[in-house]
Amino acid sequence: MDQSKWIHAINRFGFGGTEKELESWRGKDFQDYVEYQKSELLQTDLSYYEDIDLNDLKTMDRKEMRMKTMKTIGKLSEDWIDLMISSSYGLHEKMNMFWHDHFACEIKNPLLARNFTNLIRKHAIGNFRDLLLGVSQSAGMIDYLNLKQNKKRKPNENFARELCELFTLGQGNVYTENDIKEIARAFTGWSRKLKGEFVFRKKFHDKGHKEILGKKGTFTGEEVIDIILERKECARFICSKFYKAFVNPEPDTSAIDEMADVFYDSDYSISTLITYIGESDWFYEEKNKMTIIKSPLELIAGIGRQFNIKSKNTNSWTQYQRLNNQILFRPPSVAGWKKDKEWINSNSLALRLRIPSIVLSGGDVEMYSKPDYDADPMDDSKRISGRLFKGISGDWSYFRKMNPDIDEVTLFFNDKLSEQSRTLLAENKDKTDDYKTLLLMSIPEYQLS
């Protein structure tokens, strides 16, 4: 593949590449890029939590534990963001983010949070069945969607509903309300031990006959997952989400149908699906370039990889996530984070356009921000003030070393820059190189990939 294709591919299946990274892939196939990837797990030390019983704490100990837990979750998030920036396996990190959004799950226990993300990391470009089963049996999901409360005498439908609606088939697609009730019965007895290990409690399981998606039997949860995966509608739903996340927010029915055939016929191989997209001519069409708005974490990961960004304290990454409304391990709902244009309003765009200069000038800029100015311009109750992202800093010498010759319009925008922006750049042609770089990173098009 040529440079333009590699820029597009690594923008979508990664967080953007430096000139030297792009050169390392020149002449190779996209499949080589996929096969190069490997799983990197979070190694945050949580031995403290493995040695205590959270159900046996005194009142004061609980208060101290809450404070410690908040700090530890912050450390987990910091380690995660650092991997997004520093890992050699950008596609794997991008897929990890995608699946965390797909299987959105709020987790407050650091041990369960680390286990959950490492489970996703293990299967992020592996087999979807393994990923789906692993997530379904994870302590994080069991707690979040009330599987512990799902017992034969009083089935809880929360997990069954989201399994169909959000994780596999799509809202109202194929399944009925009666299917949800029967699926809930199949998952009765699924629970976890104190430290998070999955356990099947037979005495709470409904062994009776069930009818699910037209099939009859005494189904267990594992069998239900297989029944769902047998439906090609599942492959198509996942591929539709893939298309919107990695190709174009505007779906193309023909391309999605092709992807679904490949995904289904490969027995739900995620790497096979990714390879098919990256080797398809339509993926590189001009209409699909620079069309997806980066999430806040994708934005900072892209800047971080170009400038080798480091953070001196956990609070900086915590503040970044809170101000941009994308907090790791805390999605706003089971439907996940915002998507594409949902990230942009008058207030969020003003902050996002300033992030490059804030971070690359040492993160020491006074800023006042409100979560959604469009909602009520007169409401100051949520106004935030203070020094932004103090402790986060980038390395300009690293950027120049990794991008010695490439035109930054090509590097950042794959040569798709508006005439208005080109005019702005021309008007500042006599400025320093650093100034012009920050100028390019501070225009609206830099928010796109």
Residue 56's pLDDT is: 65
- Sorted by where each begins, the domain ranges of the chain are 3-230, 296-447
DSSP label at residue 367: E
Q: Are 113 and 42 in contact (CB under 8 A)?
A: no
This prediction's pTM:
0.94
Q: How many Cβ atoms are within 10 Å of 5's Cβ, its own excluded?
A: 17
Q: How many Cβ atoms are within 10 Å of 268's Cβ, its own excluded?
A: 20
Q: How many Cβ atoms are within 10 Å of 230's Cβ, its own excluded?
A: 12
DSSP label at residue 189: T
Residue 375's pLDDT is: 45
Gap between the terminal Cα atoms of the chain = 19
Sequential pLDDT tens for the chain (449 residues)? 999 999 999 999 999 999 999 999 999 999 999 999 999 999 999 988 877 766 666 666 878 888 888 999 999 999 999 999 999 999 999 999 999 999 999 999 999 999 999 999 999 999 999 999 999 999 999 999 999 999 999 999 999 999 999 999 999 999 999 999 999 999 999 999 988 999 999 999 999 999 999 999 999 999 999 999 999 999 999 999 999 999 999 999 999 999 999 999 999 999 999 999 999 999 999 999 999 999 999 999 999 999 999 887 778 899 999 999 999 999 999 999 999 999 999 889 999 999 999 999 754 444 444 444 444 444 444 444 455 777 788 999 999 999 999 999 999 999 999 999 999 999 999 999 999 999 999 999 999 99
Integer Cα distance of 122 and 40 in angstroms: 8
Q: Are 195 and 207 in contact (CB under 8 A)?
A: no
